[in-house]
Amino acid sequence: MSYRGLILGGCVAALVCASPTRALALGETIVDVKIRDNNRTSEDTIRAIVGVDIGDEIETDTLELIRERLNNSGLFSDVDVFWEPHKSGARVVVTVREKFPWAPVPTFSRAAGNVSFGAVLVHGNLWGRGKQGVIGGRISNVTSGAVLAYRDPALLGTWMYWEAQGLFRDLQLPEFANTDVFGDNPLRVNKLRSFGLSTRFGVFWWRRVRTEVGWEFAHWNYRGYDWFQGDANQGIPAPIQPGEPGAQDATVGEALVGLKFDFRAREHAIMTGNALSLGLRLGNPTWGSDKKIDYWKAGAEYVHGVRFFRRINWVNEAGVNLGDRLPLWAENWAGGENLRGFQFMRFRGDTQVRFTSEFHFPLFTISQLDFRALVFYDMQALWWRKLDNQRLDGRRFLPGDYVKTGFSPGRDIHNGVGGGLRFFLRSVAVPLVGVDYGYGIEDSEWRVVLIVGA
């Protein structure tokens, strides 16, 4: 026999020997599921996440789906899933490396017009069953507050979930002119404080589809405002001060409904797939609001992530928000963290269209710490469809010379470009540090956004 014949015969023999093993897995019945190396997370919780039962058949994507579900749970820093022959079928073996279940996370953020610092204590695996608890607070010159929250992502071991929050907020919300007369100086800074609670209940259908209903209740106290007095050094005159405050005290009860189609997968810092979210909020006396409160707010968001060459990630996000008779604290805004290159909350409106594109790529890795970079483009369009200063809820807008209604592309579309860095620790579910350097195209100015912790 020739040398070529020997090689061909050897390859055929190898394929024949290998084929029974592969045939054993595909189409074979799962007769056992074995969990390994779980020290904190209960076996029942992991089995619920795995989502296969004794008697199911192994298909071509079964093991990959199990890996995806385990990674998406946020409980594990590494997972390994394989099968092995067992009795009259196949055994699925799951090996996990668990993340730290709790972490005291200091938080800090800086954007033009806003600096905040605080701390959050997060436990992502209460009682070893994947329940989640959060307690935290922050001090900010714009959005101070505190939260106490609990979330059960698998209520009674089902695909239902439930969460509850207690919230305290101390806000100083700026209002800017949407004309160029006063630059980046807020004309009015509204001081508000609220105590509230919220609860949400949802169901995952076929794992990828989620419906949610919720209720929020809060009492808002309007504590006055500061008015811009002009800047002689910059030659900016003092604007005409309105005779009424921007808002009034209010008790607000709000119903929420949501629908989400989520086909994303996350593996550490990489997000792939797409998701579509739809939501509606209704605030009126039916849900516990004062008689003067009657508003709605609707939104839609689409996110898509693509992976290139294993570690490169391109993420695009688009959204739209519409509302009518929105309270001051519920209005749409942009600037700072969601529109890099511009001042925090620089733009405001009852209508918002937004788009963000980020291209992430790796720099280097040290042990469990990943260093990644990105380039980004942000676009936000915000405008007022109507400005009604006779509203029963007491919302009073800036004078008509300073804020215009209707959509004007040159006035209401804002663009930012730039780059940044991200630092991820694989044993923690959130990036440790993010820093972006953004250029506001319309303002012709570079600004830094820094986020530490959540």
CATH architecture assignment, domain 3-98: Roll (3.10)
Return the SS3 of 16.
helix
Distances (CA, A) of 122 to 49, 118, 363: 21, 13, 29
Task: Tell me if 152 sits within 8 A of 162, measured CB to CB.
Answer: yes
117 sits in which H/E element: strand 114-126
Query: Is 5's pLDDT higher than 50?
Result: no
Segment 271-275 mean pLDDT: 94
Q: Which CATH class is domain 102-452?
A: mainly beta
What are the backbone dihedrals phi and psi of residue 178, each rounded to the nearest 5 degrees, phi first? Answer: -95, 20
Angle at 69 between CA 214 and CA 89, to 5 degrees: 135
Which residues are within 8 A (CB) of 16 and not within 5 positions of it... i.e. 6 or more apart? none
Q: Do domains 3-98 and 102-452 have the same CATH topology?
A: no
How many CB atoms sit inside 10 A of residue 229's CB?
12
Q: What is the pLDDT of residue 100?
A: 65
pLDDT tens for each residue of 306-349: 999 988 999 999 999 999 999 999 999 999 999 999 999 999 99
User: 103-107, 328-332, 382-386, 421-425: which has the minimum mean pLDDT?
Assistant: 103-107
Q: What is the pLDDT of residue 345?
A: 95
Residues in the chain: 454
Cα–Cα dist 173/347, whole Å: 11
Query: Is 22's pLDDT higher than 80?
Result: no
Return the SS3 of 130.
coil
Q: What is the pLDDT of residue 12?
A: 38
* Beta bridge pairs of residue 330: none
The pTM is what? 0.79
Mean pLDDT over the full length of the chain: 87
Which range of 50-54, 181-185, 267-271, 299-303 scores highest in mean pLDDT? It is: 299-303
Return the SS3 of 292.
coil
Task: Tell me if 279 sits within 8 A of 298, measured CB to CB.
Answer: yes
Boundaries of every domain in the chain: 3-98, 102-452
Q: Where are the beta strands (DSSP E) in 346-412?
A: 347-349, 351-366, 369-383
Token pair for 288: 């516990």
218: closest CA among 125, 307, 139, 281?
Answer: 281
pLDDT tens for each residue of 343-369: 999 999 999 999 999 999 999 888 878
Q: What is the pLDDT of residue 265?
A: 83
Query: Is 11's pLDDT higher than 70?
Result: no
Query: Is 213's pLDDT higher than 80?
Result: yes
